[in-house]
Amino acid sequence: MQTELSKELGVEHAIFGFTPFPAVAAAISRAGGFGVLGAVRYTDPTDLERDLDWIEANVDGRPYGLDVVMPAKKVEGVSEADVEAMIPEGHRQFVEDTLAKYGVPELAEGEASGWRITGWMEQVARGQLDVAFDYPIRLLANALGSPPADVIRRAHDRGVLVAALAGSARHARKHAEAGIDIVVAQGYEAGGHTGEIASMVLTPEVVDAVGPLPVLAAGGIGSGQQVAAALSLGAQGVWLGSVWLTVTEADMHSPAVTRKLLAAGSGDTVRSRALTGKPARQLRTEWTDAWDDPDGPGTLPMPLQGLLVADAVSRIQKYEVEPLLGTPVGQIVGRMNSERSVQEVFDDLTRGFEHAVDRINRIAGRGEEA
């Protein structure tokens, strides 16, 4: 599964794997793909440095990258405390009432929330980059579109390619104008923040809009047949995230979440603003239902919502309150029905890809049976 882009990056398969888990990122690269570590949870740069050290020691010299979350427009002088002060008291009360309804215990006294969506703040993301650029990363991806121009220049000065996610051809053209090297066309089916357009429609639209820039297809992809379909639509690779959540190398910290993922069907996800304030596909739970209920207070815009629910999500996760327990995941969750290693996932992807290509060749009259 090689393309011009995979050859440029020196990987065997044009499969880019986004994951918050260092062990999974390293395993993806070792399996012949391109592992991309999500950095949004690293509010302390020393933690990121520790995990990049680990990846360096366990990636067998294979290439890898980093995914950050930062706005294209620079915002000066805004602290987390400033943002926290903007959260209405009524929304805080709604959170506490919902947790009380399900009997969710408090965190222990002095125990800090382990779930803080603060990586969106520019000063946090820039601190992550200060660490990351000391390592031989080959790709910097930004989940909120094009990063600031000075970040793109800084990456290019170090020979690092820059990728940005797009949910429409219009967004993709803006990325191209900003100097992005790779556009990730992320369809409606994807886990996490998504737009309104499905992958089958979006991928060729983006390819036509930004060519000859390479495009990666994302959203609802979890089989080799789907990889073949993405490449046939003009993509130079695929960007996979959800499929790695149930691999044996993933450190989910919650057996209950893993059980729910393995049991879920493709119709058991919902695009909700409950987690961050922007539409993000995740497992549908009684927590997402509460926030989407028209009788509730409604969600706050990003980043207020993420800060509002941070402690609540930590409490739900720590005590594994199953009715409320969820995670971002795409519609491909319906295929994630067993725990496998990263290598086993790659083996399945390559077999499926070969079967799909053979079938198309036979249809086109180029196979052995023609």
**Cα–Cα distance measured from residue 339 to residue 177, given in angstroms and rounded to the nearest whole number:** 41
pLDDT at residue 122, rounded to an integer: 73
**Cα–Cα distance measured from residue 25 to residue 65, given in angstroms and rounded to the nearest whole number:** 9
Burial class (CB in 10 A: 0-12, 13-18, 19+), 212: exposed
**Cα–Cα distance measured from residue 94 to residue 300, given in angstroms and rounded to the nearest whole number:** 12
User: Could you report how far apart the first and last alpha carbons of the chain are, in Å?
Assistant: 24
The alpha carbon of 160 is separated from its chain's Cα centroid by a whole number of angstroms, namely: 20
Torsional class of 181: left (φ above 0), alpha (ψ -120 to 50), beta (otherwise): alpha
> Which residues make Cβ contacts (< 8 Å) with residue 2, sequence separation at least 6?
12, 13, 14
Residues of the chain with pLDDT under 50: 119, 369-370
CA dihedral 15, 21, 26, 30 (to 10 degrees): -50
pLDDT at residue 85, rounded to an integer: 87
Note the pLDDT tens digit of each residue in 286-343.
999 999 999 999 999 887 898 899 899 999 999 999 999 999 999 999 999 999 999 9
Task: Decide: pTM greater than 0.75.
Answer: yes
**Cα–Cα distance measured from residue 218 to residue 116, given in angstroms and rounded to the nearest whole number:** 25
pLDDT at residue 113, rounded to an integer: 62
Residue 303 preceded by cis peptide, ω within 30: yes
Q: Which residue has the tokens 């070792």?
A: 30
Contacts of range 344-348, beta carbons closer than 8 Å, 24 or more positions apart: 345/31, 345/243, 345/244, 345/247, 346/13, 346/15, 346/28, 346/31, 346/32, 346/33, 348/223, 348/224
Residue pair 252/328 in contact (Cβ under 8 Å)? The answer is no
The dihedral sign for the CA sequence 114, 115, 116, 119 = positive
pLDDT at residue 119, rounded to an integer: 47
Residue pair 327/275 in contact (Cβ under 8 Å)? The answer is no
> Which residues make Cβ contacts (< 8 Å) with residue 361, sequence separation at least 6?
367
Look up residue 2 and give its two tokens: 């090689």
- The residue type of 222 is G
Q: Which residue has the tokens 């390293």?
A: 26
Residue 143 phi, psi (nearest 5): -80, -10
Three-class SS state of 49 = helix
pLDDT at residue 116, rounded to an integer: 54
> Which residues make Cβ contacts (< 8 Å) with residue 58, sequence separation at least 6?
22, 23, 26, 30
pLDDT at residue 123, rounded to an integer: 77
Residue 233 per-residue DSSP state: T
Three-class SS state of 65 = strand
